[in-house]
Structure 1
């Protein structure tokens, strides 16, 4: 890994991406991050599993957490990274450039460079965000070491195209089952086909109209979709079970209990098992710290705050009573895409905006 304090932030992004770190296999990257941060005397470096925390102790009146996850979804022939020109702009292409190693590179670069920021800063680099919520490294830190996350405000470097996105939708996954009776496919009349019975589930999904919900001035778009379907044990057996996995993205005004109740209502009459559930987070843009950050970013990169449609760990900070926003380089619609790529000017813009805010004299 290049020297954090002197490396160009785009080159640092490429170096981070070129260390594969699919969820559950983050150890090599966590080791590299820990070693690199340990070289700076102004930082106390801590570790839990493959989550690395570095923090200043300058006696400032306020503390901010700047956080980002270091894992990615599986690589699909999109490493190593490369620099390209698209529509006249330079982009960095490859897995993780958007979600979210560009944001991690911004934080690592500033952690090394800003020895005396106006805020005390806790820099958090954590594992297993791209998998089920129970494995999430930030959640593990909150359970094992809540004092490591204590702060007045948090910035999560998730991709937002260098704009601020407030709050986030919640997410629920559920398995919707149909049941039949197994039989030899040559005598299909002796069985009941569970896959055929799943047609009713797909019909309900096809006719579902997701809501748009205004929460504290931002409009969140919901969604309910099938993301997996499976059934059958052999090509000559009528399947006696079929499972359709659905994902519900719900506005932060809904509680997890309300979200679950809604899914069960949509699939009334079917066997429904919730397998993963995480609450959303309201925008919280009226907090003083958030308003100041929004103003600084607007002056540096332009634009206004919008909603975060996906689930992010701002929800975990919200549960801890810490106002939080999403702010990072990369188009979120390219997250997880095989053609994942991030404009290099957004990486530099996010680094500049965050550095400006962290060094403001009235912070």
Structure 2
């Protein structure tokens, strides 16, 4: 589905701008109309910005020669619409697909990019595509390959939903398939076979007995978790199965590297066939960076660990300190009733404005 987007007024109240962004459907892979509208608005309403387009991503930046550069990033795609577009307002609540994750954050970023013509820090804004689907299609990966200089900064702030809190770093994530093998036989003569599903019970027992770490990094507590998330196996109702697969997910603290995470899972499940199918490293908090300290002072908030993986990991891998800060509630992301408190949108706008103007 391709939608023709209306003209956007990026100088408008960020609450109204959030509604306008929600009203342009932008399910992952179909962000072109919204990207085009954002690009046109930046080019016509922000002559102080250099603007480029990369696929369905739009980037803009100041070049004022400031001693530090701050990058604000937000993905413009959403999960599939669930009868929640167009947006609707009910008192102090704005409902709609992407309100929380993360068009409210996008609206704040776009509004500040246009209205702050003399920021205390040079500013880069990145609106990117395909965050909600497989990592290989993520727009930041393409930008890193084609326009790497655009991702250089002293601090990156991702507008991911944090309910107005500062969430530092992120967990790493690993998925693996643990395969158990047996011998197929007729269930009436089960003693002739070896039940692979029963063998998988040993895998589940180890996972049930696993005691995850809690790790404090820069005052943020990261909690690890190793879980079975899927079990498959079986041939027919009268056959002893000869194969079973337990899919596990390991959410690991950012003090572990990706290789260390793999080694840990293999150690826990020693003796079983473990095949890693997906792996993304975490990101350390990066709170010691001077720009991060300035931002924390501007918010007055106590940072907490980010539970889950976000694109701060990509910036950390580039050596850019990165944090998550946005007006949306992460618990509402991807739900039919997704919504955002309009007061959070205005609060986030003012906090970032205060920080960016020094």
Could you say what the CA RMSD is over the residues aligned between the two structures, in angstroms? 2.4
For residue 343 of structure 1, the aligned residue among 341, 344, 350 is 341
Partner Cα separation in structure 2 for residue 119 and residue 178 of structure 1: 56
Task: Answer yes or no: is 1:63 the counterpart of 2:69.
Answer: yes
Give the one of 15, 23, 29 matched to 2:34: 29
Give 1:133 shift.
3.0
Over residues 179-222 of structure 1, what are the superposed CA-to-partner deviations in whole Å (9 max), with x where a residue is unaligned? 34556778777665544443333333333232211112211111
1:18-55 CA distance string (max 9 Å, x none): 33333333333222222222223222221222221111
Q: Can you give the 5+ residue segments of structure 1 that lack an aligned partner in the other structure? A: none
* Alignment map for 1:158-173 (pairs within 5 Å): 158-173=160-175
Superposition map of 1:268-287 within 5 A: 268-287=270-289
**Contact 2:59–2:127 at 8 Å: present in 1 too?**
yes
TM-score by length of 1: 0.87
Alignment map for 1:195-344 (pairs within 5 Å): 195-232=197-234, 239-298=241-300, 303-344=301-342
Q: Which residue of 2 aligns with 1:357?
A: 355
Task: Label 1:318 to 1:242 Cα distance change in 2 as closer, same or farther (>3 A).
Answer: same
**Equivalent in the alignment of 2:50:** 44
Tell me the alpha carbon deviations over residues 244-271 of structure 1, each in whole angstroms, 9 at most, x when there is no partner: 3222111111111111111112222222
Local SS of the residue matching 2:130 = coil
- After TM superposition, list the pairs within 5 Å mapping 1:131-142 onto structure 2: 131-142=133-144
Distance 2:184 2:329 in 1: 47
**Separation (CA, whole Å) in 2 of partners of 1:117 and 1:321:** 23
**Alignment-derived partner of residue 157 in structure 1:** 159
Give the length in aligned residue pairs.
352
Contact 2:227/2:249 (<8 A) preserved: yes
Match of 2:3 in 1: none
Report the TM-score when normalising by structure 2. 0.89
Q: Runs of 5+ in structure 2 lacking a partner?
A: 1-5
- Compared CA separation, residues 163 and 234, structure 1 to 2 (3 A): same
What SS is found at the alignment partner of 1:47? strand
1:3 Cα deviation after fit: 3.0
2-structure distance, mates of 1:225, 1:243: 14
Cα deviation 1:316-354 (Å, max 9, x = unaligned) = 211212122111112223333343322111111101111
CA distance in 2, matches of 1:31, 1:343: 27
- Checking the alignment, whether the CA contact within 8 Å between 1:180 and 1:239 is kept in structure 2 is yes
Q: 1:115 to 1:188 in 2, by over 3 A?
A: farther
Moved more, 226-235 or 338-347: 226-235
